[in-house]
Structure 1
């Protein structure tokens, strides 16, 4: 009877599936080699751009150019019926741009800390992983670093859909010789982080601003678990890191920094939105679709705000948002301070005429920055 047992080396014989897989991998390797070559060619061109910018005294980071390029790349992807999503295209090229910024200059970005905060998460998402980040414990510290040219820009919160305006940022803009260079719209989706997902939880720590919008879904997802306020998200994560049976609410980046496991993420219906500014030493250049933040200081009287709004309405200028703040050096309480976000760039003739009219009426006007109108809600 013939021996039907496999030969000693039959287990090493390639199967049709393994042959097909190897052929595909060879093609992928060839494409990767081309990508590396093209990225290095792009890097050479970036260095040429850097030289031109330095000679002309131009900014290295240009938010209007960045957004226009990302939109164009997404349109190319759509035209080619690409399988990558717009989010994926933006994420890939953000890191390519980050590497380019690092080639052009050693870009330094301050952010409102501590490490792992939402502002840190937003800054890394916007500028990528190739630039240098510096945490600041207070908003005034970030302003001071930009003013002293210790950093190129600072990323700071200015509004949260659940908590309202971040008044410290607005108030510092009034007195600083700095301006809003760009804005970021961010979709806030909070995560719960713990040592593991097997140990029953007794407490979840979090900064009050993070806990507030999360309470409804946390109560549903973790019934009976105590919600404990912490002075910072970093301290909350430290509790989860060191105390068995506890967790923290925070960012995916915070979980990475503290070596914690993400055990839950806020459902989409509980997500909120926040706005952040990129603080610079001047406004962004006109991009064709801009917003401007103004501070208008006027007499506090009946119809004061209406008079201000009429100036813009008569010129068909959209006032997108209004905030009012007390005037700290006005003990008599006879002054009003309004923050207006309006459509257009402060260099536009229409806006310049409106500002001149307000000043003729006795109002004091300060341009806090013009910046490209955000067209994309950023998310991790």
Structure 2
């Protein structure tokens, strides 16, 4: 009869493995430090972060893991390891629509890890400016939600910005109702949140809090702060915001769409390198006249390029002048896309490639 291992023996074995993991982490950190010194000597002003290399490493490790460690957790763990090691080379500064505790903050942490230097900004325009003025290496802004559609202020900011889109993030958005300790639903008179969040939870709020006033806040995190100060107030926000502001989670997943998600864009100095599963975002000014939009789309259709999204916005420069934002599958350096861009420039009043970047293949949680 085989003798089963004892619990103390298993714990001792785990402790020994933990010691090995710790030693290897410190070995990796030392190697990262050497890489940082070499980079600094070669190009003191260069951006240390190498997104293409990072994606390559994460994909390799996910594919190579035999289990039983959960595959999704492999990426999460190594993202944090790389973030911590990168901070030894040069802290990565990331601006995002703040304050801390917003879903944009969660998206930034997912992309860059917890060891990056967080720079919360009060507006989307301020995020753009932080990167443009080199106060931040990257910026993270929301661009569309599955329920409420486009974030117009992000699209408008691209009209005059030199920044490129270098990545996208799809983040699951689970809204929660947050209350002060001791307050119940019957006592709620005001519900604070960002307009997008209130829109995402419209049906739930009408069913359960129809008599409460809905008050717009600059962010879900600010909504949580306001609810904390209001004896009859509640907030629609993330569960992280509850922890930050000492509120209790009264209800979870109150959004109308169960699979609610928001798409975020990462702003940087240049586009990403081709990966074979990319997306390109274009900003086009169509020439005025009949068939203008058709002339904009034909060069893409003839080459079999998939247009996944089109959105129009007034340019605010001339009466009734509109800009079109187009998301097209493929990278600007691929031959078919490059040919289409040449033709589009002839068919448009102006055309700007906002960036080519890897498509987010799954929704992060």
TM (norm. structure 1) is 0.86
Structure 1 residue aligned with 2:298: 310
For 1:198 and 1:88, locate their aligned partners in 2 and report how far apart those are by CA, in whole Å.
Answer: 36
Select which of 55, 62, 68 maps to 1:74.
Answer: 62
* Ranges in structure 2 where 5+ consecutive residues have no aligned partner: none
Structure showing greater Rg: 1
> Which one is further off, 190-199 or 253-262?
190-199
* Ranges in structure 1 where 5+ consecutive residues have no aligned partner: 1-16
Structure 2 residue aligned with 1:95: 80
Structure 2 residue aligned with 1:48: 34
Structure 2 residue aligned with 1:11: none
Structure 2 residue aligned with 1:357: 343
Note the 1:1-380 alignment, pairs <5 A: 20-54=6-40, 55=42, 59-77=47-65, 80-82=66-68, 84-196=69-181, 199-203=184-188, 204-219=191-206, 222=208, 226=212, 228-232=214-218, 233-244=220-231, 246-266=233-253, 270-331=258-319, 333=320, 335-379=321-365
For 2:30 and 2:172, locate their aligned partners in 1 and report how far apart those are by CA, in whole Å.
Answer: 35
For 2:278 and 2:46, locate their aligned partners in 1 and report how far apart those are by CA, in whole Å.
Answer: 19
RMSD: 2.5
Contact 2:98–2:122 (8 Å) recurs in 1: yes
After TM superposition, give the deviation of residue 227 of structure 1 in Å: 5.0
- In structure 2, the residue corresponding to 1:363 is in which secondary structure? strand
TM (norm. structure 2) is 0.89
After TM superposition, give the deviation of residue 92 of structure 1 in Å: 1.8
Alpha-carbon displacement from aligned partner over 1:326-367 (angstroms, at most 9, x marks no partner): 232223x3x542111112221223222212112233531111
- In structure 1, the residue corresponding to 2:170 is in which secondary structure? strand
After TM superposition, give the deviation of residue 309 of structure 1 in Å: 1.1
Contact 1:213–1:270 (8 Å) recurs in 2: no
Alpha-carbon displacement from aligned partner over 1:131-169 (angstroms, at most 9, x marks no partner): 111111112211111111111011111111222111221
State the aligned residue count.
Answer: 357
Contact 1:255–1:261 (8 Å) recurs in 2: yes
After TM superposition, give the deviation of residue 312 of structure 1 in Å: 1.2
After TM superposition, give the deviation of residue 199 of structure 1 in Å: 4.3
For 1:62 and 1:287, locate their aligned partners in 2 and report how far apart those are by CA, in whole Å.
Answer: 14
For 1:162 and 1:23, locate their aligned partners in 2 and report how far apart those are by CA, in whole Å.
Answer: 52
Contact 2:295–2:347 (8 Å) recurs in 1: no
After TM superposition, give the deviation of residue 112 of structure 1 in Å: 0.9
After TM superposition, give the deviation of residue 368 of structure 1 in Å: 0.5
Alpha-carbon displacement from aligned partner over 1:239-285 (angstroms, at most 9, x marks no partner): 33233454311112212221222232106853411111111111112
